[in-house]
Amino acid sequence: MSNYFSNSLNNLLELFGAHTHKPSAQKTTADMAQMVEHVVDVIDPKIRVIGRYAQKLNQPVAQTWDYLNDMANIIPGGVVLNRAQFSSDPRQKLIFDSQGVIQQLLDSLPQLMHEKVSDQSTRRVYMLLCMDKSEHNFLGTELAGDIITRDVLQTKVTFLNRKILSAGYAMDDARLGFKKCALEGLLHKAHNLVLDSRNEQKQLIERKRQLHQQLHTVYDAKYRPQSSI
């Protein structure tokens, strides 16, 4: 059983050590220790039976957080969601089908959007908008100068399933929400890997038991004396 937990820890180290970054200077020792414990809680608390598990996980978890920080920093700047600007902002027309879609999204925003604040300068809320991108090829027409060409292969891009990932009164708050969500996704992926490994181990144990049973059956049939009447 100890080998199983060792393998679980090794798989975890491999998952979180896939990207190499310098240790984060923004995370204190206490913060990192708390994050490591959260990682173990979500993936498999039984990993704590491994000696020095926290020390082994500290650097990979810190590297993973730095990688997510780099990912958050490359998120492009914001687009102001405003129904009045729908017609004049080509980015909104690309993302949303109509003004009604924008209103539906705004109506589904977190409670943060509906809080009353005394400082009106903080009324601007930053959010990360997630959506599914779909591409569809079709034959259409194309205008080049005064010539119209038919049956031209074109691609239509649409966005579906729009939802808010995180929200805050500053862009850094929204980016932090993204990093937390991405980290949780990695943890659940690692948890599923542990479950798969556990199921595989059970199958191997059962297969071993069946082979031993077959071996005993063959041995008994070949070497055990047959009773005579």
Q: If you average pLDDT over residues 166-192, what whole number do you get?
A: 84
Query: What's the pTM value of the predicted model, to 2 decimals?
Result: 0.58
pLDDT in tens, 199-210: 888 899 999 999
Neighbour tally for 140: CB within 10 Å? 13
Rg (CA), the chain: 28
> How sure is the predictor about 4, in pLDDT bands with cuts at 50, 70 and 90?
very low
Neighbour tally for 133: CB within 10 Å? 9
> How sure is the predictor about 122, in pLDDT bands with cuts at 50, 70 and 90?
low
pLDDT in tens, 20-78: 444 443 455 668 888 999 999 988 888 888 888 899 888 888 898 999 989 888 887 77
Domain segments of the chain as ranges = 2-74+177-221, 83-169
> How sure is the predictor about 196, in pLDDT bands with cuts at 50, 70 and 90?
confident
Element (H, E) at 223: helix 171-223
Output the pLDDT for position 198: 83
